[in-house]
Amino acid sequence: MAGLIGRKIGMTSVFSAEGKNIPCTVIEAGPCVVTQVKTVEKDGYSAYQLGFDPVKEKNVTKPMLGHFKKAGVSPMRKLVEFPMGEHQLNVGDVVTVDIFKDTYWVDIVGISKGKGFQGVVKRHGFGGVGEQTHGQHNRLRAPGSLGASSFPSRVLPGMRMAGRTGGNRVKVIDLQVVKVIPEQNLILVKGSVPGAKGSYLIIED
């Protein structure tokens, strides 16, 4: 199996065998249910569709409710497809965090925290103009020139400017697996992961 769906619980720290304090993110990984098996013959590619976080039937649209009833599983709030790995799974099988017990590195995908409309200093790391010299007093965090005037007489695409920040799909690669707690469906990874507490994460082997 190539991955699992989880939820960010928060952060903590654990001590290594050498006595070092390691900051960790606690993730509730699974259990996930196989809701669909896609094949090359029928769908053009092979993948497993996993469902996570059970939800009441009244909160599911009728097309999705029919999809879950066809699979014979209870409705799920989050669905993600993963490429087929070494394990052969069928519709209705349950995948738990045990698949990561022999894994040392994982990639995690999440939606970063939304910051709203932000200026160039926070959004892109601009340094500002520094000291207040030559009479300027209100341009400390301004972006400066946006380009030449006579040519090309326009702002070029991709110019770093103020705007909505965050809320993007972010993938962090090669995070170390510190600990796996199968009894509580928890996995601890070293460092931080994108997203707020309670947000969904995709954990890839």
Determine the pLDDT at residue 180: 92
**Domain limits of the chain?**
3-113+168-204
Identity at 106, one-letter amino acid code: V
Q: What are phi and psi of 107, to 5 degrees?
A: -110, 140
First to last CA, the chain: 8
- Burial class of residue 21, CB neighbours in 10 A (0-12, 13-18, 19+): exposed
Whether the per-residue pLDDT at 12 is higher than 60: the answer is: yes
Closest CA to 74 of 29, 35, 47: 35
Match 């990639």 to its residue by tokens. 107
Sign of the dihedral through C-alpha 202, 99, 205, 95: negative
CA-derived radius of gyration, the chain: 23
CA angle 100, 78, 71 (to 5 degrees): 90
Whether the per-residue pLDDT at 130 is higher than 70: the answer is: no
Region 196-203: what's the mean pLDDT?
Answer: 95
Region 126-154: what's the mean pLDDT?
Answer: 82
What stretches of the chain show up as alpha helix (H) in DSSP? 40-43, 62-71, 120-124
Tell me the CATH number of domain 3-113+168-204, given options 2.130.10.10, 2.40.30.10, 2.30.290.10, 3.30.70.20.
Answer: 2.40.30.10
Measured in whole angstroms, the distance separating CA 150 from the mean position of its chain's CA atoms is 44
Q: What is the pLDDT of residues 104-120, one digit of tens each?
A: 999 999 999 999 999 99
Region 66-86: what's the mean pLDDT?
Answer: 90
Whether the per-residue pLDDT at 1 is higher than 60: the answer is: no
Q: What is the pLDDT of residues 21-61, one digit of tens each?
A: 999 999 999 799 999 999 899 989 999 999 999 999 999 99
Longest CA–CA span in the chain (Å) reads 73
Spatial separation of the C-alpha atoms in residues 175 and 27, rounded to whole Å: 13
